Amino acid sequence: MFAVVLRSITDRRATGALAVFAVVLRSITDRRATGALAVFASDPVSAIYKRATASSETSAA
């Protein structure tokens, strides 16, 4: 459940190439992972998104 909620949040916020990468990674984990593995698979996507947005905010300033 937590993994699904986290994925839906990142789906709404991610854009461009990052969104494509995140969606592909999530679709792979959705088909193969369940339980704790699904939650673990979501964490790298969240970390990648946070790093990318931090970089873009720094660049825009």
> pLDDT tens for residues 23-38?
555 554 555 555 555 5
Span 9-19, mean pLDDT? 54
Q: b/e per residue, 27-51, with b = 16+ CB within 10 A?
A: eebbeebeeeebbebbeebeebbee
pTM across the whole model: 0.19
